[in-house]
Amino acid sequence: MSAGSGGLSSGGPGGQVGGAAGTAPRTVFGHLEPYAGDPILSLNEAFQADPRPDKVNLSIGIYFDDAGRIPVLDCVRRAEAQMLEESGPKPYLPIEGSAAMRKAVQGLLFGAGHEAVASGRVATLQTVGSSGGLRVGADFIRRWLPGAQVWISDPSWDNHRAMFEGAGLAVHAYPYYDAATGGVRFDAMRDTLAGLPAGSIVLLHACCHNPTGVDLSRAQWEALVPLLRERGLIPYLDLAYQGYGDGIEEDAFALRLLAAAGLTFFVANSFSKSMSVYGERAGALSVVCADRAEAELVLGQLKATVRRNYSSPSIHAAGIVARVLADPVLRASWEADVAAMRSRIQAMRRALHDVLAAKRPGRDFGYFLTQRGMFSYTGLAAAQVDRLREEFGVYLVRSGRICVAGLNSGNVERTAAAIAAVVA
């Protein structure tokens, strides 16, 4: 390519390239914008780098035990021991993932013998975490439901918007959290959804809303179903915290309600939190369809989406999840561990509430007790969050979200005292 042609030409030392004649040579990547970092993951990294011994990590949605460690569940250890013992070959999994894991996931989500599963109208594939599932579903929507726009709750998990926009979809927000009452703006949410065009995608947190911890009640879910059906809206459930709300079965309520109502919908679910296997990237995407023939078409196109992206998921993640869910002994051990993690979080909610209520008697901290799952929306302003981090070494995201699972008997009083100091 000749100089001055307007295209890239190989430049001099250091990979410089020249543009049009007369312009200064530049490097290939010098024009990139710096990555601003992720509001959650970068904060977690900043926490790791903080040398203060009494720092407290409430930034990221990870369950820590009372000693501040990420637990390795006994059921996972035993499943891995079995896998090591078998020491089999490690071929590529099929594009859609392990058949054993997919079957186990369907049983977990829909319950034994559910009509939707039995009739073959659920397309399930193992994905790279539920994030991978969300994104595969988003790419599929962009390709096969062109023009569909996505509606997420206000607020929602920080990455939802980026993920769907990254797939080329327009993303909007529907009213959700009511800062004045600490509840859901249900009427406003319903009115907004009632005005959406048919075929809109409505992202809903199936339980343990992230970041607020404020869930729809069962009655509110039941009121949504006819609206979703009549308006022809397509729910997309994010189920990342199954078991952390009211129980493993209880937290599948919304999903089973939509399935029983005959709606077509997506659900991305995760084992990161429930099995404490964050780095294994264990998740799945299921699409509930009208019938078996449609589910086969959907599965085929989801496979095409995966093949041109990461090709196939992890065999190790599949081995853990399939074994824990299918083996009755491992399953019972897992269910007991999930119950213990859930109740430890509830105990921390209570402890935080009690210390704050004693220190700031004029204020209502009841929301710590009514919110579900790992997260609480504290209502703290960004400046108060900054003070907590800088003065007290307490890390939370600047929206005021705390991960209650980062509290333990050794730090909860100190954390409560720090929060009391900044709200004074």
Judged by CB under 6 A, does residue 207 bind ligand LMR?
no
Q: Give me the residue whose beta carbon is nearest to ligand LMR.
A: 61
Binding string, residues 10-49; x marks residues near ligand LMR by CB under 6 A:
------------------------------x---------
Q: Which is nearer to ligand LMR, 47 or 157 (CB)?
A: 157
Judged by CB under 6 A, does residue 371 bind ligand LMR?
no
Q: Using CA of residue 409, residue 206, residue 73, residue 343, what is the dihedral sign? A: positive
What DSSP letter does each residue of 314-333 carry, written as one string?
Answer: -HHHHHHHHHHHHSHHHHHH
CB of 271 to ligand LMR, least distance (A): 13
Judged by CB under 6 A, does residue 203 bind ligand LMR?
no
Interaction with ligand LMR in 113-172: which residues (CB under 6 A)? Answer: 157, 159
Binding string, residues 209-228; x marks residues near ligand LMR by CB under 6 A:
-x------------------
Residue 238 annotated as catalytic: yes
Judged by CB under 6 A, does residue 57 bind ligand LMR?
no
Q: How many CB atoms lie within 10 A of CB 421?
A: 15
Strand 122-128 to 282-288 pairing: antiparallel
- By CB neighbour count within 10 A (0-12 exposed, 13-18 middle, 19+ buried), where does 90 fall? exposed
Is residue 201 helix, strand or coil? strand
User: Given candidates 43, 47, 58, 61, which one binds ligand LMR under the rule CB under 6 A?
Assistant: 61
Q: Which is nearer to ligand LMR, 38 or 230 (CB)?
A: 38
Is residue 345 helix, strand or coil? helix
Q: Which of 151, 273, 334, 337 is catalytic?
A: 273
Q: Which is nearer to ligand LMR, 98 or 210 (CB)?
A: 210
Is residue 98 helix, strand or coil? coil
CB 377 within 8 A of CB 212: yes
Distance CA 166, CA 38 (A): 15
Judged by CB under 6 A, does residue 288 bind ligand LMR?
no
- CB contact set of 216 (below 8 Å; sequence gap of 6+): 184, 186, 204, 224, 254
How many residues form the binding site for ligand LMR (CB under 6 A)? 6
CB 127 within 8 A of CB 313: yes
Distance CA 197, CA 126 (A): 31
Q: Which of 139, 238, 251, 337 is catalytic?
A: 238
CB of 266 to ligand LMR, least distance (A): 18
User: Given candidates 58, 60, 317, 405, which one binds ligand LMR under the rule CB under 6 A?
Assistant: 60
Residue 90 annotated as catalytic: no
Structure tokens at 106: 């369907």
Q: Which is nearer to ligand LMR, 154 or 296 (CB)?
A: 154
Is residue 1 helix, strand or coil? coil
Q: Which is nearer to ligand LMR, 18 or 129 (CB)?
A: 129
Q: Which is nearer to ligand LMR, 40 or 258 (CB)?
A: 40
Token pair 């203060």: residue: 52
- CB contact set of 8 (below 8 Å; sequence gap of 6+): 1, 17, 28
Catalytic positions = 157, 238, 273
Residues that bind ligand LMR (CB under 6 A): 40, 60-61, 157, 159, 210
